[in-house]
Amino acid sequence: MFYSSRMTTLKKIAVTIGDPAGIGPEIVLKAIMSHEIAGLREPIIIGDIAVLEEAVEKLNIPVDLNSLKIINTGEIKDRNFQRCKPTAEGGRACVSYIKKAVELALNKEVDAIVTAPISKESLKMAGFIWPGHTEMLAELTTTKDYAMMFYSDKLKLILVTIHTALRNVPDLIKREKVLQTIMLAKKACDMMGIDNPRIAVAGLNPHAGEAGIFGDEEIKEIIPAVNEAQASGISASGPYPADTLFHRAYNGEFDIIVCMYHDQGLIPLKMIAFDKAVNVTIGLPIIRTSPDHGTAYDIAWEGIANPSSMIEAIKLAVRLRTN
């Protein structure tokens, strides 16, 4: 009810089609045409018209492209492009879409951007060094302090470390970084309209270190960060053992969890909300959301991709813009 009653407050939203070889073009078109997004006045699709024309025809998507506002970047010029695998061509294309969307958002020509999935391998093949959307968006907007936040109805979380090998994580858990992420968690809750949010901080080690028996990151870095956040008036607590924390948050005890590393948060989130979870980049000067799944090359261009997460990403962009 929240979304449908206030959808018309967002006039323009840019939606990139992601990696042309993946499910992005399909889920974007399906989402834009869904009844749940019907109240959105002017979605702007950013991609290549050749890709969209092929998607409509090959996948039998009932949409008249002439009725939609489309920005054609011209990276892919015909319908004979490679599909269902990472390619340099796809990497160059999706970067062109994202750059255009960011340009529009920074110039306030759109109110928010929603990005379809891209491939890190495609980026690398195309010669780009960004490990993903988040780092790319931070650089394009000259943002220093940012974090990946993930939203679902029952579980919300934010990450201290993002795309890095697990062996690197303990050395990256520093008081300053944990505190910064707690503060971004508070900002995320403000954007979602959550008053006085209860922010839970997960431990890094089993049993949150068990008083230093299983590791001292909690004692040296995480607890001081929590204490400093509390001193600034933020309702943060922890660190809590991760094996019980997500159950507690799922049952409503906390509003958001600060997770120490990628899979600590993403495994439970995707277990309960794989088709509904949304990724939000917190800290940017623009609003950006994205489906919390990848390019799904294994089912791409077969007409069977589920647009639910893309629909939720658009709806959440509307909510964040409204707030």
Predicted local confidence at residue 306, as pLDDT = 96
Radius of gyration of the chain measured on its C-alpha atoms: 20
pLDDT higher than 50, residue 4: no
pLDDT higher than 80, residue 2: no
Burial category of 160 from C-beta neighbours within 10 Å (exposed 0-12, middle 13-18, buried 19 and up): buried
pLDDT higher than 70, residue 6: no
Q: Give the pTM.
A: 0.92
E strand or H helix at 25: helix 24-33
Q: Which of 255, 261, 217 is nearest to 239 (CA)?
A: 217
Predicted local confidence at residue 8, as pLDDT = 45
**In which region does residue 110 sit, left (phi positive, over 0), alpha (psi from -120 to 50) or beta (all else)?**
beta
- The more confidently predicted of residues 134 and 38 is 134
Q: What is the pLDDT of residues 262-290, one digit of tens each?
A: 999 999 999 999 999 999 999 999 999 99
Residue 101 corresponds to which tokens in the numbers above? 């969307």
Give the separation between CA 226 and CA 182, rounded to whole angstroms.
8
Binning pLDDT at 50, 70 and 90, where does residue 28 land? Answer: very high
Binning pLDDT at 50, 70 and 90, where does residue 41 land? Answer: low
Q: What is the pLDDT of residues 85-100, one digit of tens each?
A: 999 999 999 999 999 9
Predicted local confidence at residue 186, as pLDDT = 98
Residue 242 corresponds to which tokens in the numbers above? 């991760």
Predicted local confidence at residue 40, as pLDDT = 64
E strand or H helix at 320: helix 308-322
Share of residues in the chain with pLDDT > 70 (%): 96
E strand or H helix at 244: helix 242-250
Q: What is the pLDDT of residues 137-167, one digit of tens each?
A: 999 999 999 999 999 999 999 999 998 999 9
- For residue 108, the number of C-alpha atoms closer than 13 Å in the C-beta half-sphere is 0
Q: What is the pLDDT of residues 204-241, one digit of tens each?
A: 999 999 999 999 999 999 999 999 999 999 999 999 99
Predicted local confidence at residue 231, as pLDDT = 98
**Average pLDDT in the chain:** 94
Predicted local confidence at residue 170, as pLDDT = 98
Binning pLDDT at 50, 70 and 90, where does residue 11 land? Answer: low
Q: What is the pLDDT of residues 43-80, one digit of tens each?
A: 899 999 999 999 999 999 999 999 999 999 999 999 99
Per the listing, tokens 């870095």 go with 221
Predicted local confidence at residue 213, as pLDDT = 95
